[in-house]
Amino acid sequence: MPRRTPIVPVVLAIHALLFAAGSAFAYPLDGPLDNPNGDMLVDSMTRPAGEVTLDRTPAAYFPRSICPGSLLVPGAPPEGDAPAGATFTADGSQIVVAHRESKNLIVWDAATRAFVRAIPVSGSPQSVAVNAAGIAVVANVLEDTASIIDLATGAELAVIPVGRVPGIVQITADGLTAVVANTTSASFSIIDIASRTEVRRIAGGDFAATTSVNPESGSFSLYYSYFTLSGRRIIHPRRFTSSVAVIDIDTGTLTSIPTVAGPSHAVIAAAGTRAWVTHWLSNRRITEIDLATNTVVRTITTSVDLSGPLASNPAGTKLAVAIQNAAFVLDTATATVGPTLGTASINEMYTTADGLHAFCVGFNGSLISFSSGMLLANTNAVASAAFGCVSPVNARGAGFSNVFGEDMMVSNLSPASPGLEAFILSGPEVEADRCRTAGISRDGSRAVAVSIFSDSASIYDGSGTLLGTVKTGMRPAEVEIAPDNSKAVVCNLDNNWATIIDLATNTATNVTISRRASQVEISPDSRYAYVAVLADGDGLWKIDLLTNTVVGGKLATADMGSVGYSYQQNSGIALSHDGNTIVVCGGFSTPSISVVDPINWTVRATIPVGALQQPTYVSFSPDDAKFYVSYKDSDKIAEFSNAGAASALLRTVNVGDQPFINAVSADGSTLWVLNYGSKNLAKVNLATGVMTVVRTMANNPTGMVLRDNVNRAFVVHGNSSITVGGAIGVAFAQSGQLIAINTADGTDADLVDLRVAPSWLAASADAGFIGIPCPAGDGLFAISCPPPCPADFNQDGGINGADVEAFFLTWEAGADAADVNRDGGVDGQDVEYFFVRWEAGGC
Q: What burial class does residue 593 get, using C-beta atoms within 10 Å of its C-beta: 0-12 exposed, 13-18 middle, 19+ buried?
A: buried
Per-residue pLDDT at 17 exceeds 70: no
State the pLDDT confidence band at 50, using cuts at 50, 70 and 90: low
pLDDT at 29 over 80: no
Residue 842 has phi, psi (to 5 degrees) of -100, 10
What would you report as the CA-atom Rg of the chain, rounded to the nearest whole angstrom? 29
Tell the burial category of 611 from Cβ atoms under 10 Å away from its Cβ (0-12, 13-18, 19+). exposed
Neighbours of 199 (CB within 10 A): 12
pTM: 0.86
* Equal CATH topology for 78-175+187-198 and 435-784: yes
Mean pLDDT of 392-409: 94
Q: What is the full DSSP assignment across 453-493?
A: TTTEEEEEETT--EEEEEE--SSEEEEEE-TTSSEEEEEET
What's the mean per-residue pLDDT of the chain?
A: 87
Decide: 557 and 594 in contact? Cβ < 8 Å. Answer: yes
Residue 45: pLDDT band (50, 70, 90) is: low
Q: Is the pLDDT of residue 394 over 70?
A: yes
Domain 435-784 CATH assignment equals 2.130.10.10 = yes
How high is the pLDDT of residue 40? 67
Note the residue count of the chain. Answer: 843
At 23 the pLDDT is 28
SS (H, E, C) 2-30: CECCCCCCCCCCCCCCCCCCCCCCCCCCC
- List, for residues 65-111, the tens digit of each pLDDT value: 677 788 988 878 899 999 999 999 999 999 999 999 999 999 999 99
pLDDT digits over 558-602, tens only?
999 989 899 999 999 999 999 999 999 988 888 889 999 999 999
Average pLDDT value for residue range 733-758: 92
Q: What is the pLDDT of residues 668-689, one digit of tens each?
A: 999 999 999 999 999 999 999 9
Q: How confident is the model at residue 650 (pLDDT cuts 50, 70, 90)?
A: very high
Any idea where the domains of the chain sit in the sequence? 78-175+187-198, 435-784, 792-843
What is the reported pLDDT for 726? 67
Q: Are 442 and 707 in contact (CB under 8 A)?
A: no
Average pLDDT over residues 166-187: 96
User: pLDDT confidence of 730, banded at 50, 70, 90?
Assistant: confident
- What is the rounded distance in angstroms from the CA atom of residue 121 to the CA atom of residue 494? 34
| For residues 363-371, average pLDDT | 97
Distance CA 813, CA 828 (A): 4
pLDDT attached to residue 724: 73
Mean pLDDT of 276-290: 96
Residues 206-233, mean pLDDT to the nearest whole number: 90
DSSP state letter for 761: -
Cβ-Cβ contacts under 8 Å for 59 (sequence gap 6 or more): 698, 699, 718, 719, 735, 736, 737, 753
> What distances in angstroms separate CA 110 from CA 92, 114, 409, 412, one per listed residue?
7, 8, 11, 11
Beta bridge partners of 329: 320
Q: Is the peptide bond before 96 cis (omega within 30 degrees of 0)?
A: no
- State residue 219's pLDDT score: 86
- pLDDT(6) > 80: no
Cα(690)–Cα(656) distance, rounded to whole angstroms?
Answer: 11
Give me the pLDDT at residue 163, please: 96
For residue 835, what is the DSSP state? B
What tens digit of pLDDT does each residue of 187-204 get? 999 999 999 999 999 999
DSSP 791: S
Nearest Cα residue to 2 out of 325, 399, 450: 399
The pLDDT score that the predictor gives to residue 8 is 32
What are 468-498's pLDDT values in tens digits?
Answer: 999 999 999 999 999 999 999 999 999 999 9
Give the domain 78-175+187-198 fold: Methylamine Dehydrogenase; Chain H (2.130.10)
For residues 620 and 635, give the distance between their C-alpha atoms in angstroms, rounded to a whole number: 19
Residue 758 in this model has a pLDDT that exceeds 60 = yes
Q: Give which of 353, 347, 473 is closest to 399, Cα–Cα.
A: 347
